[in-house]
Amino acid sequence: MCGIIGYVGKGQAYPVLIGGLKRLEYRGYDSSGVGLIPSMLNGKIVLRKTDGKIANLEKLVKSQPIPESSLGISHTRWATHGAPNKVNAHPHSDNTGRISIVHNGIIENYELLRDKLKKRGHKFKSETDSEVVAHLISEYYKNDLKAAVIRAIKDLKGAFALGVISLDHPDELVAARVGSPLIIGIGKSENYIASDVPAILEHTKRVIYLKDEELAVLTTDNVDVFKFNGQKVRPKIDRVTFKLDAVAKGGYAHFMLKEMHEQPDVLKQMLNARIKKDAISLEGIGLTDKQIKAIKNITVVACGTAYHAGMVGKYIIESLASVPVTVDAASEFRYRNPIVDKNTLILAISQSGETADTLAAIREARKRGAKVISICNVIGSSLARESDGILYTHAGPEIGVASTKAYTAQLCMLYLLGIKLGAAKQHLKPAEMKRLIKDLKQVPKLYEKILANKNSIARIAKANSHFGCFLFLGRNINFPTALEGALKLKEISYIPAEGYAAGEMKHGPIALIDEYRAVVCVATQSDTYEKMISNIQEISSRKGNIIAIATEGDKSIRKHVHHTIYVPKTNNLLTPLLTVLPMQMIAYYISVKRGCDVDQPRNLAKSVTVE
Ligand code: F6R
């Protein structure tokens, strides 16, 4: 978590930094700060720090104006060590006040280092792990900032992306990374560092994705990249393809709403790019057709919403290809001695490609000899770089903290993978494959239909927004949809919500049902429809308030439930792609009605780069 941005150039640093922080706010938003080397050197790094959102920092700078400066660093924080307040906000400085740093990640051995440094006379102000980095660099500093940073890094354990400035080097910005993401933007007579591309997109599209254990020295006209042993490397400069409007709200009230509406296009683009004359192209997967055919079992590792996508993936792949799939929460996988070897294919799923637990899981699996392929949205992310094969979802930047389009893009990729695998294994007959591809291609149009019904879904959501507890039920391939519906609601509206396999209801959750609960039931036409109707009747006779997500044309369901949201008819296997949309919309409209911060819910951050 946390976002950092730094600037060195001929222009003014502050506007670039504050603009960049706003675009990084999705990474953390409990406090923020900026550190600048004034153009007219006066012996001090100018610091402005505050708790709360970036708007507070802007207010502070208005009330305490800053001098002209063309070198600076800034930070938006998601607290790990120490409360979110002004003192713990970044940048942190050494005792001389001549060196300041911003840090994203966790310094695991900070207590040990802090104790050592205290003995050497360093005085600490904050409760953070990050402050130790500033003192350590100062300890090793002998007129060469780059050398001091490299030396300090040798003592650090953990994950970090760092931006460092020093009064003694008023035209130099030093950056380094281990584990946490960091990119460099190449401008004209100005250069940037940032945690993510959107922060600098307004200024440049030319970026270097700094690799792990690399350090960069940026000046106005130059960027040099080094390994930690001091060896200079020639970095690859990439050109970002997405446009600035991809990271703007574009007239929508919230990023989440915009991203929900982008789903038809995201899927359309993926299907157009990946389906060629009824054959699936999984370019990037890093496996030959022969290797795909030879896959014997798959273990999915992922977190949160991506984990739910993996659960749907299990149903898809087992049904289409008859290949057994295990789905593990990445945070559990790594600590339970997983049975994984060179015959296991690990499938990691992640929007950001920076989730610490998912990365740790694939590293563990690779140690045990497994091959790793990933479904990931962020190009050049750590996950993409560390995988043997990568299937990019190309959903575009997802800014809303609650994942929407990234999830449906992950599902779509899992269908493509399932079909490819099923065909390779000859489990899926050519005619079935053709039909499924045809149905899949229809999905974007069906999305438009559901989205067009948004006023009615909003009405239903608002009418139920007063309930203090929600239960989400689904069966079979829509059981993960129920889990995802509950996750969406609780993260953006703070209403306690549980997702359950409907068949499990009698084994406990039914005790929750009374007139004060709302129950969202996925009851689309399928082999388990009758069973779902029985569950609905059980809830109804206990006075639960039921919202059913049903197949268009199913009028009879209405007599059992309070509200019905229809989704168009499609192949049963594809229903999770459709049923999740009303779930997202229910969560969104309830959150809005309750006055919650939809895009930046409390305590959360978009990419969880710490354990
Ligand atoms: C929920 C949500 C999170 C993420 C999870 C994994 O809406 O966004 O649960 O899905 O933190 O993140 P990625 O996919 O970036 O690995």
pLDDT single digits (tens) 383-435: 998 999 999 999 998 999 999 999 999 999 999 999 999 999 999 999 999 99
Band the pLDDT of 27: cuts 50, 70, 90. Answer: confident
If you measure from the C-alpha of residue 131 to the centroid of ligand 1, how many angstroms do you get, rounded to a whole number? 28
Least confident of 256-260, 299-303, 600-604: 600-604
Q: Identify the H or E element spanning 209.
A: strand 206-209
Which residues are within 8 A (CB) of 148 and not within 5 positions of it... i.e. 6 or more apart? Answer: 137, 138, 140, 141, 142
Q: DSSP letter string over 65-77?
A: ----EEEEEEEEE
The beta-strand segments (E) located in 395-517 are 470-474, 497-501
Whether residue 610 is predicted with pLDDT greater than 80 in this model: the reply is no
Position 608 scores a pLDDT of 80
Ligand 1 in contact with 350 (CB < 6 A)? yes
What is the chain's length? 611
Q: What is the pLDDT of residues 567-579, one digit of tens each?
A: 999 999 999 999 9
Atom of ligand 1 nearest to the CA of 401: 8
Over residues 199-205, the mean pLDDT reads 95
The answer to whether residue 103 scores a pLDDT higher than 90 is yes
Mapped onto helix, strand or coil, the DSSP state of residue 522 is strand
Kindly list the structural domains of the chain, giving each domain's residue range(s) and its CATH number in brackets, ordered by start: 3-240 (3.60.20.10), 246-451 (3.40.50.10490), 453-605 (3.40.50.10490)
Average pLDDT of the segment spanning 135-157 = 97
Q: Is 355 in the pocket of ligand 1 (CB under 6 A)?
A: yes
**What residues contact residue 428 under an 8 Å CB cut-off, 6+ apart?**
320, 321, 419, 422, 436
pLDDT digits 0-9 by tens, 271-294: 999 998 889 999 999 999 999 999
Residue 381 banded pLDDT, cuts 50, 70, 90 = confident
Residue 485 CA, ligand 1 centroid: distance in Å: 14
Give burial (CB, 10 Å; 0-12/13-18/19+) of 265.
middle
Please, what is the average pLDDT of the chain?
A: 95
* Of 26, 347, 355, 407, best ligand 1 pocket probe by most atoms within 8 Å of the beta carbon: 355
pLDDT class for 34, splitting at 50, 70, 90? very high
For the chain, percent of residues with pLDDT exceeding 90: 86
Nearest CA-CA partner of 565 in 581, 541, 576, 577: 581
Of the listed ranges 107-111, 409-413, 518-522, the one predicted with least confidence:
107-111
Find all residues with CB under 8 Å of 560, minimum gap 6, and list them: 533, 536, 537, 540, 546, 548
Give this prediction's pTM.
0.87
Q: Which of 350, 391, 404, 481 to mutate to test the pocket of ligand 1 (most atoms within 8 A of CB)?
A: 350
Q: Is the CB of 378 under 6 A from ligand 1?
A: no
The pLDDT score that the predictor gives to residue 548 is 98
Residue nearest ligand 1's atom 3 by CA: 304
**What is the pLDDT at residue 466?**
97
Q: How far apart are CA 254 and CA 434, in angstroms?
A: 38
Is the Cβ atom of 375 under 6 angstroms away from ligand 1?
Answer: no
Residue 424 Cα to ligand 1 middle (Å): 31
Q: Does the CB atom of residue 303 touch ligand 1 within 6 A?
A: yes
Catalytic residue ranges: 2, 606
